[in-house]
Chain A
Amino acid sequence: MNQFFSLKRFILLVLKHWADNKKRYILSVLAFIGLLITWFVFVLVVDDGRPMDYEIQVITYFFSLFAVGTFYASQYFRDLGSRAKGINFLLVPASLFEKLLCSLLYTVIFFLIIFSTAFYLVDFLMVAISNTFIGNKAAVANVFDIVFLRFNSDSTITLLFIFFSIQSAFLLGSVYFKKYGFIKTIISGFVAVFLLVCLVFFLYDFLLPKGEYQSGFLTSYRVRIDGVNDRLVEVPRWIGKVCSFIVMYAIAPFLWIVSYYRLREKQV
């Protein structure tokens, strides 16, 4: 049998993960539904204008998606922080690739499906309640409808890919940190972003002549001379495209690969 990937072993692993965690998962989904209902009831009570309008549904969806999704990812490999659970996890006769793939199946695919289903169940119910008791005619929002997403000029798909990138960082954090993975990943994330900002804005500012970035993904720079003879320095457009492609699509797979190698080195 293939030692890197076997569908049979992978299915066994997925079933085993479900058997080990089903109680926790079912309770977590119920708790999420409860919290969501509480939040929407709160909105209905405090907002007597348009309590269930589009924005509140979309913001609730994405805020809870980011909060719950990252927290769940940060918990997935937390067993590795405990010697007993770590031994149990590492000695299961499946390849590390299968174990990582199983984590992605649960934290990315199953999570998104279950999360969206739970959200819409509550959303349908709360919109119906709002329309019945408050009289204002709200509609169930299509959160994936890119046209109506007003707080971001890009599409929802873009936002989902940003979510996958951030979530993959939390998944890596759960492999990397023995304890407090969620908190440590947040702190590490802030440090990384801070260093990046320092690098891009302060260091470049120090190295480059006086001026400022123009529109685009840090690909055009206006060298200020006297306002009339200013020079615009532009790197080729494809570099900007490559950079935005990397930010959008490559971060998550890259961090999954890092997680795989980190998992390979893992000791108890």
Chain B
Amino acid sequence: MISIDNLSFAYRKKPVFDGLNLKFEPGHVYGLLGKNGTGKSSLLLNIAGLLHPRKGHITVNGFTPFERLPVFLEDVFMVPEEFYLPDIPVPDFIKYYAPFYPRFNAEKFKNYIAVFEIPSDSTLQNMSYGQKKKVLISFALATNAKVLLMDEPTNGLDIMSKSQFRKILAEALDEERCIIISTHQVKDLENLIDRITIIDEGKILFDENIEEISKKLSFRFAYDDADAATSFYSESSLTGKVVVAPNTDGEESKLDLELLYKAIITNGTKITKLFHQ
């Protein structure tokens, strides 16, 4: 579905990626994690055809994104972190924007904004940032675009909306659709993503699916100080030390994305080695 081969990209003289290789398949929700400024958004913009790679090649549904052909754009929808919506009523927004997407489902859109508790006849102009974002997310899902790119989708959403977001996103996933979510609010994506890709300094630091992570890593309290010292990562909490350690007893623990992320940032080489043994 999305194939990135040897991608190099730079903003003028500031390199972002150099020889990046990645693949995204349909039927999955990918979590793209990384520090600020590591290239998560740039990767999404390259996939959407909004930035031009210096070297290498990207193929999305068989098309080269930067050609921005209508048939490509019909099947790729991006929810950017900074977004724009016109100051028109929601019904007008649907009336004038939806016909560009041949598989747009108006019923689904109504359901999504109902879940988000947005009145269907309200005007975008009078909405808060969070409400506008919910309209955009609802629209994005209702387009039935095969590729959905979301950059920090939970930014600006309140606690209830974040759980509503997880609910409707889980509903919207099907076998043909590939959803890539870039975020640094990893907690918001728990129980939602099925593959994690961590980017650091323009390189892929970690790229594994949740099943594999749960098999190979254990997220638990440390038995003692020696256990904490030998783990990949440990940190103190009110109830003791939590660690990320190799899963030696074969029992799957509940994945803690935040801990995993910290473990990979601080001890990435050892963890990657474990996955490639």
Cα distance A71–B48 in the bound complex, in angstroms? 32
A82, chain B: closest CB distance, angstroms = 7
A237, chain B: closest CB distance, angstroms = 45
- The digit string for A86-102, where 1 denotes a CB below 8 A from any CB of B, is 11101111111000000
Q: Is the CB of B74 within 8 A of A93?
A: yes
Q: Is the CB of B83 within 8 A of A84?
A: yes
A90, chain B: closest CB distance, angstroms = 6
Cα distance A90–B69 in the bound complex, in angstroms? 10
Cα distance A127–B228 in the bound complex, in angstroms? 91
| Minimum CB distance partner of B82 in chain A | A84
Stretch from A9-17, A25-33, A136-144 that touches the partner: A9-17
Q: Is the CB of A88 within 8 A of B100?
A: no
Given A6-B70, A9-B70, A95-B70, A15:B96 Cβ within 8 A: yes
Q: Specify which chain B residues have a CB less than 8 angstroms from the CB of A86 in the assembled complex.
A: 50
Q: Specify which chain A residues have a CB less than 8 angstroms from the CB of B62 in the assembled complex.
A: none
Cα distance A187–B48 in the bound complex, in angstroms? 34
Question: Which size bracket describes the interface of B in this complex?
Answer: 20 to 34
Q: Specify which chain B residues have a CB less than 8 angstroms from the CB of A90 in the assembled complex.
A: 49-50, 68
Stretch from B29-37, B87-95, B170-178, B251-259 that touches the partner: B87-95
Q: Is the CB of B96 within 8 A of A267?
A: no
| Minimum CB distance partner of B51 in chain A | A267
Q: Is the CB of B80 within 8 A of A84?
A: yes
Q: Is the CB of B100 within 8 A of A20?
A: no
Q: Specify which chain B residues have a CB less than 8 angstroms from the CB of A19 in the assembled complex.
A: 86, 88, 92, 95-96
Q: Is the CB of B84 within 8 A of A267?
A: no
Q: Is the CB of A87 within 8 A of B68?
A: no
Q: Specify which chain A residues have a CB less than 8 angstroms from the CB of B76 in the assembled complex.
A: 91
- The digit string for B227-266, where 1 denotes a CB below 8 A from any CB of A, is 0000000000000000000000000000000000000000
Q: Is the CB of B70 within 8 A of A87?
A: no
Q: Is the CB of B70 within 8 A of A93?
A: yes
A210 interface residue per 8 A CB criterion: no
A3 interface residue per 8 A CB criterion: yes
Q: Is the CB of A93 within 8 A of B73?
A: yes
Cα distance A82–B80 in the bound complex, in angstroms? 13
On chain A, the number of residues with a Cβ less than 8 Å from chain B's Cβ atoms is: 28
Q: Is the CB of B71 within 8 A of A1?
A: yes
- The digit string for A252-268, where 1 denotes a CB below 8 A from any CB of B, is 00000000000001011
Name the residue among B45, B87, B100, B101 with the largest chain A CB count within 10 angstroms: B100
B52 interface residue per 8 A CB criterion: yes
Given A16-B97, A91-B78, A96:B68 Cβ within 8 A: yes
A85 interface residue per 8 A CB criterion: yes
Pick from B50, B82, B100: contact of A9, CB below 8 A. B100
Cα distance A28–B49 in the bound complex, in angstroms? 34
| Minimum CB distance partner of A92 in chain B | B100
Cα distance A85–B86 in the bound complex, in angstroms? 9
Given A84-B80, A267-B52, A1:B86 Cβ within 8 A: no
Cα distance A13–B97 in the bound complex, in angstroms? 9
Q: Specify which chain B residues have a CB less than 8 angstroms from the CB of A12 in the assembled complex.
A: 96, 99-100
A231 interface residue per 8 A CB criterion: no
Given A84-B80, A90-B68, A23:B100 Cβ within 8 A: no
Cα distance A87–B81 in the bound complex, in angstroms? 11
Closest 9 CB pairs of A and B: A93-B73, A84-B84, A19-B96, A20-B86, A84-B82, A93-B100, A16-B96, A93-B74, A268-B50
| 27 sampled A-B residue pairs with Cβ under 8 A | A1-B70, A3-B69, A3-B71, A6-B70, A9-B70, A9-B100, A12-B96, A15-B96, A16-B100, A19-B92, A19-B95, A19-B96, A20-B86, A20-B88, A83-B80, A84-B80, A84-B84, A87-B50, A87-B80, A90-B50, A91-B73, A91-B76, A92-B73, A93-B70, A93-B74, A94-B73, A268-B51
Name B residues whose Cβ lies closer than 8 Å to a Cβ of A.
Answer: 45, 48-52, 68-71, 73-74, 76-78, 80, 82-88, 92, 95-97, 99-101
